[in-house]
Amino acid sequence: MSRLISVFFIVNANQKIGVGHLKRCMLLADEFTKYSIPSTFMSFELSKTAHSLLKEKKYPTVIYEDISQFKENSIHQLPNRDSLIIVDTDEAYLYTLDFQQLILNTANKLMYISIKNDVKYYAHYFLNQNVMALSEAYDTSTYTIKLLGPSYFILDEAFKAIVPNQFVERKKKNLLISFGSSDPQKNTIKIISLLHLFQHYFNKIRIVVGGLNPELETIQNHPFVIENKELVEVYYNTNDMYGLMRDTDVAFTSMGLAFWELTLHKIPCLVLSGSIREKSQIDYFCEHNYSHFIGNFDDELWKEQWGKNIFQYFNSQIELNIDELYKKVNVNGKTKVVERIIETY
């Protein structure tokens, strides 16, 4: 039986897609390091900010100019055997039979971290940490080991210290708005433009702008923000998200990492999709009453639809099944993932 001696992550991160995929892979790399298994990162869409995260952790990184250069050279820069190639990006080419076959023709093994259920997986491992994965079917090979559901959730060690908020009944709520590191769909700005319609529900509105979001100045100078300085606070690339969450009663967010941080604080989430891939997630979560639906990033009549859905939540005093979702999340998921891989490699 062969032994895993190294890991290679193929992952992208930039203003368009954010850094969630990269951070997830870095957490796995940290866990592999505990077993003296080194990791290397490969990317063909990596922003300077994202690259700096890898430099801080001193992980070797191979950066390609584009997908064409990656196709030509990546296979030659992978080891011949005893390594695990982990793909955590939505690039279509990486899910083709041709690419999978390239890896399978070596003595390495292949793993996907994905929510895609419309492709055939010939990989040795498939990870979908989302709760909806437990009720979906995936076309995999007979030898594929499937790691499905939030018991395999990859979370930072800091998550273990999160204590659920104590519910405090108050007439006006503290609202947190967070749409990830980059927010390419400008959901933050759109929501701000609606705040005047229901500002009377809130005692404090805190807007978190991610480090890859280019709209900071526009947000800070938005008329609603300028005219309501006592009500609205804007935070840029803050290191105190948990401090803000501990003083939050309700949040507007998408389906990224912030959603799960909010869930572990047991904060009700009103959700917007930030991408096409998030639409199906939101449908599932809202159907199970884990969150409340605001709308989708590409709604044509978004002002009318989003405003109506927000009013519905506050006027109807909807109770979400946060406790049920909270119980499904395993804060030791990344350890479980790595241990399973090492045991079965």
Burial 226-252 (b: 16+ CB within 10 A, else e): eeeeebbebbeebeebbebbeebbbbb
Q: Is 70 exceeded by the pLDDT of residue 146? A: yes
pLDDT in tens, 198-228: 999 999 999 999 998 999 999 999 999 999 9
- Strand partners of residue 9: 41, 86
pLDDT in tens, 269-310: 999 998 888 898 899 999 999 999 999 999 999 999 999 999
The predicted structure's pLDDT at residue 257: 84
pLDDT in tens, 149-205: 999 999 888 888 899 998 878 889 999 999 988 999 999 999 999 999 999 999 999
Average pLDDT, the chain: 94
Same domain, 186 and 321: yes
The predicted structure's pLDDT at residue 1: 56
Same domain, 95 and 220: no
Same domain, 201 and 106: no
Same domain, 211 and 134: no
Number of domains observed in the structure of the chain: 2
Q: Is 90 exceeded by the pLDDT of residue 332? A: yes
Q: Which residue has the tokens 């891989």?
A: 341
Return the half-sphere exposure (C-beta side, CA atoms, 13 A cut-off) of residue 33: 11
Residue 1 lies in a domain: no
Q: Domain residues for 38?
A: 6-155+330-344
| Confidence label for 106 from pLDDT (cuts 50, 70 and 90) | very high
Instruction: Check residues 317 and 12 and name the one with the higher pLDDT.
Output: 12
The predicted structure's pLDDT at residue 169: 80
Same domain, 179 and 306: yes
Same domain, 148 and 12: yes
The predicted structure's pLDDT at residue 256: 86
What CATH number did the domain enclosing 50 receive?
A: 3.40.50.11190
Instruction: Tell me the residue length of the chain.
Output: 345
Same domain, 196 and 71: no
Same domain, 305 and 238: yes
Same domain, 182 and 90: no
Same domain, 127 and 181: no
The predicted structure's pLDDT at residue 185: 93
Residue 43 lies in a domain: yes
Same domain, 103 and 238: no
Same domain, 171 and 292: yes
Backbone angles phi, psi at 167, to 5 degrees: -65, 130
Residue 269 lies in a domain: yes
What CATH number did the domain enclosing 319 receive?
A: 3.40.50.2000
